[in-house]
Structure 1
Amino acid sequence: MSKAAYEDDIDTVSRDEKDTYVDTTEEKFKGGEDRSTPEQWTPPEHWLTRFVDGYSGQHGGETLPPGSDPELVAEAVFTMDVQESLERLKIIAHEAPHDYTFDQSLAAYIRDLLLGNEHCNMNMEDWSYEVCRLAGVIHNWSAYAEVRAVLVPYDDPDIPCESIRVYFLGFFWIAVVTFVGTFFSQRQPGISIPQQFVQLLLVPMGRGLAYVLPDWGITIRGTRYSLNNGPWSPKEQLLSTIMMSQSSTIGNTTGILDLRMPIFFGQKWATLGYSILLAIANQCFGLGMAGILRRLTVYPTWAVWPSNLPLLAYNRTLTARDNKGEVVNGWKITRWQAFLISTAVFIVWYWIPNDFFKAIRYFNWMTWIAPQNLKLALVTGSWGGMGINPISCLDPNTSGSGTMNAPFFAILQQYTLQFVSGIVLLILYFKNVSWAAYMPINSNSSFDNKMQGYNLSRILNDDNSLNLEAYLDYSPPYYAIGYLYSQGAQFVYFTFSMVYVFIRYWPIIKKAFGSLIQNNLKGRSIYTGFDDGHCKLMRKYPEVPEWWYMIVLAIGFAISIVTVSAYPTQTPWWTIVALAVIGTFVTIPWCVIKSLSNVGLPLGIIWNVLPGVWFPGKFLPDLMLLMLGDAFTDIAGSFGTDLKYAHYARIPPRAIFRTHIASQVLNCVIYCCTIEALLGLYDSDNTFCHPDNKNFMVCNGPRGVYSSVVSYGVLGTNNLFKLYPALKWCFLIGPILALFWAFGEKLTHLIRHRIVRNMDDEQQARFNSRYWAPLSTVVQSIHPAIALEGATNWGGNTNLTQYTTALFLSWLFQYYLKRNYTAWWGKYAFLLFAGLNVGVAISGFISTLIFSFGAGRGAQFNYGVNTISTAGVDFELYNNAISLLPLPEKGYFGLEKDQYPVTNL
């Protein structure tokens, strides 16, 4: 078969054919019965030996995760004969160009294998081994090297998992982490207990309980429940980690503090009981949606959720021994040693850019040439400028350490569009578009027409409603061009993603929701249509039916209606119906993009915009819908991450369901009780949440919520759009771009066939290799919905400083090392990420305690290397103290008073 003919043959493998293959395989496993078949193929014994040797780390390439049984891995991989393997590879080759995470060099190798052993210059024995090995590795283990680096393709269902010890430790850490995080998040800088640090402590605590607890228990329906199940198991470690992680998933119920605190909205009817109801409604919405979307965000192999992989690698290192005698790329140190070294390095390094050598944290070295040159600071400044600087930050924590484990294709595309957006912003600023030059270029603050910070209290009545006369006498709020551009980009990104994801992934979405209905009607397994290795292993455990999650969602819906209708929230009950419908649609693309790239959509803005249109002049509807609406995205995404984490870790689905429910109830109660304590703290000195609070409890998060609610709710969305008309058109630009891109993707295939239809095989091969293959590789690697996220990364003094170093780190770890030193990368990379997070967390916690509450309180290291980066106009831009243009002679800028936007006020 010629290569051109082969490509045409691959094109005939439609998605429907793939689904038929999968569904046929499903019949073998229907009902979760024994997965073996009557005539199971057995690989040659020397193939297993060859596989084990190939993954030993002695020959380059990949290695096995720590604690692996090489023989079990080999047996799990070789389950298909040559013919079955070829059929599987054909499907993989068809899907690979559309999978942004799949290694395209591996896809090219698969296409070569499908052309036969002679094409590959292999003898039949080697070719058959490679075909079966590659098909088995991808199908039974994972298509992605980063997943294979932290997971094994087999499971032992008898390992203890949902134990009394897990609930005890999980509940303990939920209580501690929720209280500390809620209380001290109001402080600047905040104090929190990082997840990686708790994971580290769970190991000795779990093993300690296994040592001291007696083996007392009872037997219920044939299952014995004991205080002590024996040694602390890896699955217990993983499940308790998931429980503890729920201490940070309270969502946007930070608005409860705004609702109740006298310095904000001070609604006395919002009692402790009401707060708990509202918080539980949030969690029910999120958990219900995450469960219903499992077929879209958990079971598909392409839904990797990259943020889970370092946690899985970290847990495996904590609970499993290294493979004996393993040496990779000349390195002999164990994973545990690598983690400890990384942790120690970053414990020490944290102090250098954050306390003793601050100049390299925001490394604005280019502005040191002329510290008072405003234009230089605007372009290159790290504090208040654009941050266009090739060496902008030497602190990986500041530059976003999370990007080190994000796919390089996502980071590169985001950075490219962010850089282009920075150039556009500079042009708009110097052209004084929308009065931009009278304000700093990249601030999140609002300003009045005299270039001062906007004083909201001047336009509000005692009940926080708008005083129209005072507003007309004062000024509309004006915003920096960086903030406006970010808002407009978010509108484009939002509507683009809604349209593009539904077009691009419509077959998958249709199949997911179609199977949801059909499987419930026919009583089929929820895994119907998914036959990869992970789903096969999970069939051993009882499933969680969809109706369980639907009940949770219904409870959240009912409680939400009660929270808005039975209390004076000024929010009609029908808004919850609208919220549920809109929330369902926006959560789907959010979860799809997040699962691919570790990037989420900026959906919070929609819950400001819509209430501002529906109820202009009222703040309570805006605040209520902001809190409840975010539950559909942020919390659903958090729970979706956990469900994938459990899926990878082979944790029984019903165990994760029960622990989620129990964790969230405790989390909500402790969170709301902590808010109650903060109200008492306010009453004690009346400075809580004030900028001059002596303990730095300034409430930055609630202040941001307060400002957005007043801007959109009190002043109204239409008035903001009247002040800045371009913003509303951004909602239309998004879907137009999405349709253009989506149809372009469809047409390229037809264009290629039209070009090559009159060529012979040799001409087609030359055209494909010289022109079409390079071009299609570039185009297929672009995910526009992910790339557009980069354009939103402006405002609030966020600039390229935070992302340039992140781009270099992502290239190093997720491209160069992954491709050229695969064994080293697979063994050590994720542990370096974990060590960085743990080291920074430990050192940051110590630093905060010493310099904010301990002996070093108020200490300042005011020598040259600590003050040079803040000595010029770059830092003045950051503090909103300077702008390009001075105030006009008439004493104000912007609209004349008779032009102030007052629609529906």
Structure 2
Amino acid sequence: MAATLPNKAIQVPGTKWSFSLNPGPFNLKEHVLITIFANAGANAVYALGIITIVKAFYIRQINPVAAYLLSQTTQMLGYGWAGIFRKFLVDSPYMWWPANLVQVSLFRALHEEERRHKGGLTRLQFFLVVLISSFAYYIVPNYFFPSITALSFVCWIWKDSVTAQQIGSGLKGLGIGSFALDWSTVAGFLGSPLATPGFAIINIMAGFFIVLYIVIPIAYWTNAFEAKRFPLYSSHVFDINGAPYNVSRVLNKTTFEFIHQGYDSYSRIYLSVLFAFAYGLSFATLAATVSHVALFHGRAIWQQTTATFKHKYEDVHTRIMKKNYATVPEWWFYLLLLVNIALAMQPGLNVITELIIGYMYPGRPLANVTFKTYGFMSLWQAINFLADFKLGHYMKIPPRSMFMVQLVGTLVATSVYFSTGWWLLTTVENICNPLKLPEGSPWTCPNDDVFYNASIIWGVVGPLRMFGKLGVYDKMNYFFLFGLLAPVPVWLLSRKFPQKKWIALINMPVIISGAGGMPPAKAVNYICWGAVGIFFNIFIYRKYKGWWARHNYILSASLDAGVAFMAILSYFALQMNNINGVSWWGMDLDDHCPLAHCPTAPGIEVEGCPVFK
């Protein structure tokens, strides 16, 4: 465009404004702004989970205007919090964001002139080679051979053994011996392992192995919480007989409220043993995070906070930004915060009132998940906005340009997400119902399935009948105490042996939450993610540090991009037109472990499963 479009200024009639069709040479700062625009909409709109479970799981209607406002306000509310904490997390030189360094590395590869060494590739050439390779290969797992997204030798050998398939299935069991030949399996649920530091990968995988290969087998095969009546791995809820929990018996379809009599005459609610421990571990993670931060970083946080208030510390980035660019006024953020709070009160959902009631009383699932969404998403978005502000801080982008790009990017992306989601929910027959969908259908909604079951646990039945004195899983509350105490031994050891730096790298909140992605993540996702991460960020990092520094982050970006482009092309060119290829064994989006989901308690009958005596 810079080479071909005219430079002549075009005057806006009746004003002093003029503009040119020629944008000038494309530069690094423009590229950063485009990336920030994309970042503002790169994460899924969490509120669509509410809309999906209402329409596809509870089979109820929701006003599209209210649904749209819910989507926008949950995404935009984070701006207000970002503005409040910008001073502490962006301007402070002590707050550095490692993930931004990945993007900075890619920008440098794409914009800096680099001479290719004989027999080698420039970083840009490397990016393009891997991108094209990833793009070309992904047609195999995405279209021709979906089964390689999860493979299990154990299930192929012991075809009739429930226990063997529980041990070997990477999708419904412990995943021993399972693997995949698909980058989306590696990075789909847990993010790219190439962008995760080696010590963090070790902590996460240590937690995963402890939970999945010690805690869960002991709990299941000792029949804790009647575990053998239900699948080893499942995000669903069950009744005492091992059948899927019939929510209609405990939920009034007219008022959408909990029916106490129906619950008392039916069954308490049960979870798979892995799902139950996932909640317990989340309790422990919360307590361990508070304890760990207080012990290891409490003094530093206090000192840096007081220094920020006094404007005592400024690094070179902050000085340059203040000298060259006008900052974003604080009232811009406060106005956005107030506007979004006001909008949150307007929809027909009567959000604020139902949130308070839903938090204090069980039996109101919609209010419960809405409260959860506002609470979680506003802080998540605030962190994302602050991360982009820090990227702009490093790259010397005018703050007001950043603000406008983020604001417009969020508005546009949320509108597109909502429109697409609403279109799918109203046009795809049996969406989110795997039992009625054709084999290999992509519309199974695994994340929304977890969200729906969480709404039953916390909203319909409520914590009192799940984790309180009236529930099956009241002992899970001890995880709060465990999490609170877990970092103490590590802290004491680090103080006693300060010369042993590796002790301080033991992060109990990360270890405890190691398996926290399950569900919806599966064992095969963790195994592949950990194997790739350890190979690149520990082995390659130590043995070929020069190659790692030059190519690791670019490799991650190019693999992601290739998968994304081929997934989009395959859908619009083939799957959307019902061109599904040849029907054969490898077309099943499954690890061929049909017995892995079967219960093993005597007398429990499940379709497709043997009945134990």
Fold-level match, TM-score > 0.5? yes
Aligned equivalent of 1:261: 55
Aligned equivalent of 1:509: 301
2:595 corresponds, among 876, 880, 884, to: 876
Aligned equivalent of 1:293: 85
1:529 corresponds, among 290, 296, 313, to: 313
Whole-angstrom distance in 1 between the partners of 2:475 and 2:105: 46
In structure 1, give the amino acid aligned to 2:474. P
Mapping of 1:249-328 within 5 angstroms? Answer: 249=43, 251-258=45-52, 261=55, 264=58, 266=60, 270-272=63-65, 274-299=66-91, 303-322=95-114, 324-326=115-117
Task: Tell whether the 8 Å contact from 2:238 to 2:269 is kept in structure 1 after alignment.
Answer: yes
Task: Tell whether the 8 Å contact from 1:451 to 1:887 is kept in structure 2 after alignment.
Answer: no
* 1:426 to 2:142 alignment: no
In structure 1, give the amino acid aligned to 2:554. L
Whole-angstrom distance in 1 between the partners of 2:165 and 2:56: 40
1:406-453 superposed Cα distances (whole Å, 9 cap, x missing partner): 101101111011101112101111000001111111111111222222
* 1:733 to 2:482 alignment: yes
* 1:493 to 2:285 alignment: yes
Task: Tell whether the 8 Å contact from 2:235 to 2:450 is kept in structure 1 after alignment.
Answer: no
Whole-angstrom distance in 1 between the partners of 2:351 and 2:31: 46
In structure 2, give the amino acid aligned to 1:406. T
1:230 corresponds, among 24, 40, 44, to: 24
Whole-angstrom distance in 1 between the partners of 2:95 and 2:285: 21
Whole-angstrom distance in 1 between the partners of 2:414 and 2:143: 36
Task: Tell whether the 8 Å contact from 1:363 to 1:393 is kept in structure 2 after alignment.
Answer: yes
Aligned equivalent of 1:370: 158
* 1:657 to 2:406 alignment: no
Return 465-474 or 351-360, whichever deviates more.
Answer: 351-360
1:370-421 superposed Cα distances (whole Å, 9 cap, x missing partner): 22233332223212111233x6233233122601121011011110111011
What is the DSSP-based 3-state SS (H/G/I as helix, E as strand, rest coil) of the residue aligned with 2:235? coil
Cα distance 1:570–1:286, how it changes in 2: closer, same or farther (>3 A)?
closer
Task: Tell whether the 8 Å contact from 2:50 to 2:369 is kept in structure 1 after alignment.
Answer: no
Mapping of 1:361-400 within 5 angstroms? Answer: 361-389=149-177, 392-400=179-187
What is the DSSP-based 3-state SS (H/G/I as helix, E as strand, rest coil) of the residue aligned with 2:160? coil
Unaligned runs of 5+ in 1: 1-207, 520-527, 576-610, 753-771, 890-905
Task: Tell whether the 8 Å contact from 1:612 to 1:717 is kept in structure 2 after alignment.
Answer: no
Cα distance 1:500–1:394, how it changes in 2: closer, same or farther (>3 A)?
same
1:541 corresponds, among 303, 320, 325, to: 325
2:268 corresponds, among 462, 469, 476, to: 476
Aligned equivalent of 1:818: 541
In structure 2, give the amino acid aligned to 1:735. L
Cα distance 1:373–1:703, how it changes in 2: closer, same or farther (>3 A)?
closer
1:334-375 superposed Cα distances (whole Å, 9 cap, x missing partner): 222211221222223323444445554323123333222333
Whole-angstrom distance in 1 between the partners of 2:588 and 2:460: 41
Provide the TM-score with structure 1 as the length reference.
Answer: 0.59
Aligned-pair CA distance for 1:651: 1.4
Whole-angstrom distance in 1 between the partners of 2:431 and 2:340: 32
Aligned equivalent of 2:509: 785
Aligned equivalent of 2:608: none
Aligned-pair CA distance for 1:780: 1.8
Aligned equivalent of 1:639: 385
Cα distance 1:394–1:697, how it changes in 2: closer, same or farther (>3 A)?
closer
Whole-angstrom distance in 2 between the partners of 1:456 and 1:420: 34
Mapping of 1:59-458 within 5 angstroms? Answer: 208=1, 211-212=4-5, 214-216=7-9, 226-249=20-43, 251-258=45-52, 261=55, 264=58, 266=60, 270-272=63-65, 274-299=66-91, 303-322=95-114, 324-326=115-117, 332-358=120-146, 360-389=148-177, 392-400=179-187, 402-422=192-212, 423-458=214-249
1:552-581 superposed Cα distances (whole Å, 9 cap, x missing partner): 334333443x247xx553743894xxxxxx
Question: How much identity, in percent, do the aligned residues show?
Answer: 24
2:258 corresponds, among 448, 466, 483, to: 466
Aligned-pair CA distance for 1:730: 2.0
Task: Tell whether the 8 Å contact from 1:252 to 1:630 is kept in structure 2 after alignment.
Answer: no
Aligned equivalent of 1:181: none
Q: Bigger radius of gyration, 1 or 2? A: 1
Task: Tell whether the 8 Å contact from 1:418 to 1:793 is kept in structure 2 after alignment.
Answer: no
Cα distance 1:454–1:850, how it changes in 2: closer, same or farther (>3 A)?
farther
1:520-539 superposed Cα distances (whole Å, 9 cap, x missing partner): xxxxxxxx4132x4434434
* 1:615 to 2:361 alignment: yes
Aligned-pair CA distance for 1:808: 2.9
Cα distance 1:398–1:253, how it changes in 2: closer, same or farther (>3 A)?
same
Whole-angstrom distance in 1 between the partners of 2:282 and 2:379: 15
Whole-angstrom distance in 1 between the partners of 2:530 and 2:320: 37
In structure 2, give the amino acid aligned to 1:396. W
What is the DSSP-based 3-state SS (H/G/I as helix, E as strand, rest coil) of the residue aligned with 2:533? helix
Aligned-pair CA distance for 1:843: 2.2
What is the DSSP-based 3-state SS (H/G/I as helix, E as strand, rest coil) of the residue aligned with 1:261? helix
1:279-320 superposed Cα distances (whole Å, 9 cap, x missing partner): 343233212223333354445567554444443333433333
Cα distance 1:370–1:481, how it changes in 2: closer, same or farther (>3 A)?
same
Mapping of 1:661-810 within 5 angstroms? Answer: 661-673=407-419, 677=423, 681=426, 691=434, 692=436, 700-721=446-467, 722-738=471-487, 741-742=490-491, 744=492, 748-749=494-495, 751=496, 773=499, 776-796=500-520, 798-799=522-523, 801-810=524-533
Asked which structure has the greater RCO (Cα within 8 Å, sep 6+), the reply is 2
1:47-73 superposed Cα distances (whole Å, 9 cap, x missing partner): xxxxxxxxxxxxxxxxxxxxxxxxxxx
Task: Tell whether the 8 Å contact from 2:105 to 2:554 is kept in structure 1 after alignment.
Answer: yes
Aligned-CA RMSD value: 3.5
What is the DSSP-based 3-state SS (H/G/I as helix, E as strand, rest coil) of the residue aligned with 2:4? helix
What is the DSSP-based 3-state SS (H/G/I as helix, E as strand, rest coil) of the residue aligned with 1:572? helix
In structure 1, give the amino acid aligned to 2:318. C
Whole-angstrom distance in 1 between the partners of 2:56 and 2:512: 39
Aligned-pair CA distance for 1:486: 0.9
Aligned equivalent of 2:566: 843
Aligned-pair CA distance for 1:664: 2.6
Whole-angstrom distance in 2 between the partners of 1:404 and 1:709: 34
Cα distance 1:398–1:303, how it changes in 2: closer, same or farther (>3 A)?
farther
* Equivalent pairs, count: 591
In structure 2, give the amino acid aligned to 1:794. M
Cα distance 1:358–1:276, how it changes in 2: closer, same or farther (>3 A)?
closer
Whole-angstrom distance in 2 between the partners of 1:245 and 1:796: 24
Unaligned runs of 5+ in 2: 606-613
Whole-angstrom distance in 1 between the partners of 2:116 and 2:363: 70
Cα distance 1:713–1:648, how it changes in 2: closer, same or farther (>3 A)?
same
Cα distance 1:534–1:380, how it changes in 2: closer, same or farther (>3 A)?
farther
Task: Tell whether the 8 Å contact from 2:53 to 2:448 is kept in structure 1 after alignment.
Answer: no
Mapping of 1:573-584 within 5 angstroms? Answer: 575=356
Whole-angstrom distance in 2 between the partners of 1:499 and 1:548: 35
